[in-house]
Every structure is written in structure tokens, then in C-alpha cells.
Amino acid sequence: MQIIITTLVILVIGFIVGYALVLTDKKFHVDTDEREQAIRDALPGNNCGACGQAGCDAMAAAMFKGEAPLNGCPVGGASVAQMIGQIMGVDVEAAVPKAAFVRCSGCREVTRDQGRYVGIMDCRAAVQAGLNVTSCVFGCIGLGSCQKACPHDAIVIQEGLAHILPQKCVGCGLCVKTCPRALIELKPRDRQVAVRCMSHDRGPLVKKVCTAGCIGCGLCEKVCESGAIKVEGNVASVNYELCTQCGKCAEKCPSKVITLPRSA
């Protein structure tokens, strides 16, 4: 008998609670466009915030209002962008999936320490204090401001140099904004050839402070057949749209500062 009463009471309470929910939903219903809900369903829903919005709900609302680009979800990538484009009835050019890339190869082995830094363990603080932790004034400081800014644990500091873990990076660009020396750039994921140096110093000076820096010799520029690599301000940089990834520049580079295509 007792079990029947219990079941009944719980059922009744459950029913009342459920009904209350339905009633409130009816009474306080806020009209949202079907399409906004559809966009929300198409988004990955892990609320990472890499798009810059407060979460997938906020991103869906912003996309619907036209305040955010329809291909703005870095996690969902091309497939999600396409689905949302279908929902909104427009063609969306899929954003090229990008990953962060550190334009410095100055680990502790190739640069010289400038004494011991004992201040706040943060690159921005070190730069603000005008202290050079390493010998190169353009290179990675290695105190890990970018590591702390990364919400996806995609950055590790090894030997005083930041490394990006491509499998974890979603290309949100938070580290790009954080780096006080602007060393991190968003590079298309399928592009392997890139210059790992940002030093604008002239060749001899670069050689003095770092054995792995770009000396601006221009050999890569000469050997490149598609005109994708240019030396400007004593440092080479790759135009990713023109680059065919032949890897000739990387072979020719005397300081081996250009990354090779992975297949090579």
C-alpha cells in the first residue's frame, strides 16, 4: 500500500512541476526566431568562448543579428559555417582553419641570457620594465604570458620559447593579442612553410645575439618561384596565399629558420 501512495505522490508532484514549467513557458515565452534556435543547434555547444562571445547562445544571437560573422566559430570550422549559411540562406565562405604560430626560434640554446630575471613572471611585465630577458630584443621572452592567456592549454614553454600544440589550438587568437612582442600570428593550418623569426636587426647583429635568427640575406627570396617570400626590414616573411609549399626556401636558408613542409 505504502509503495502505491509513494508512487502516486511523486507522480502528482512530478506532474504539477512539469505542468508549471509548461505554463510558465507559455506565459513568459520570449519569441525567438526559429533560425536563431537552428543556429544554436548547429554550433558545437561547448561554450568555449573562442569566438569572443560569452558562449554558444550569445554567439547564435549575435550571428542572427548580424553582429558576428557566420563563419566566426573557430571550433566548428567549415562544416558548421556551411550549415549556418544554409539556415540563414546565404553562401558562407568557409574561414580557412587557422592555428597560432610563434615567429621565433630563439630557445635558450641559441640565444644568450641577459643575466637573471627575477621580476614578475610575465612577459608583459618584463617588457614594461624595459628588461631584456634574452639577448634578442625581438624574440620570445618565454615567461609564458601567452600560455596563461590560452584557454585551451595549447601553448607550452620549452627552453624559454613558446611552442604551439597544433592539435589543441583552435585559432582563437587570444595569444596573438597577449604577446607584448607581437610574435604570434594566425597561420592557415595547411601551410607549413613559415619564417620562425621576427628580428628586424641587421644580419651581423642577429648573428651576435642568436644563432637561429633570420639575417635577411634574401636567398629565399631569390630561390622562390612563386614570389611568396619577401625580405622586408631585414626579415623574411611568407605570403601564405601565394606559397606553393615547395620547400626550396627552407633548403636554401643558411640559418635554417624557415620551417619545412611536413611531407618533405
What residues form DSSP beta bridges with 232? 235
Q: Comparing C-alpha atoms, which of 163, 166, 168 is closest to residue 191?
A: 166
The nearest distance, CB 165 to another protein, in angstroms, is 17
Cell of 22: 509548461
* DSSP 3-state of 117: coil
CA distance 142 to 114: 13
Q: Which is nearer to another protein, 10 or 242 (CB)?
A: 10
Cell of 129: 620594465
CA distance 155 to 162: 7
Q: Phi/psi at 186 (nearest 5 deg)? A: -90, 120
Q: Which is nearer to another protein, 50 or 99 (CB)?
A: 50
The nearest distance, CB 10 to another protein, in angstroms, is 6
The nearest distance, CB 207 to another protein, in angstroms, is 33
Quickly list DSSP for 169-225. -----HHHHH-TT--EEEEETT----B-----S-HHHHHHHBTTS-----HHHHH-S
Q: Which is nearer to another protein, 28 or 204 (CB)?
A: 28
Q: Which is nearer to another protein, 144 or 216 (CB)?
A: 144
Q: Contact at 8 Å (CB) between 56 and 47?
A: yes
- Residue indicated by cell numbers 626579415: 235
Q: Which is nearer to another protein, 27 or 262 (CB)?
A: 27
Q: Which is nearer to another protein, 147 or 255 (CB)?
A: 147
Work out the widest C-alpha separation in the chain, in whole angstroms.
Answer: 94
The nearest distance, CB 31 to another protein, in angstroms, is 10
CA distance 161 to 140: 6
The nearest distance, CB 41 to another protein, in angstroms, is 17
The residues binding another protein (CB under 8 A) are: 5-6, 9-10, 13-14, 17-18, 20-21, 24-25, 28-30, 47, 54-55, 57, 120-122, 148
The nearest distance, CB 39 to another protein, in angstroms, is 18
The nearest distance, CB 145 to another protein, in angstroms, is 11
Q: Which is nearer to another protein, 28 or 91 (CB)?
A: 28
The nearest distance, CB 125 to another protein, in angstroms, is 8
Q: Which is nearer to another protein, 3 or 90 (CB)?
A: 3
CA distance 94 to 80: 9
Provide the CA 92 distance to its chain's centre, in angstroms. Answer: 21
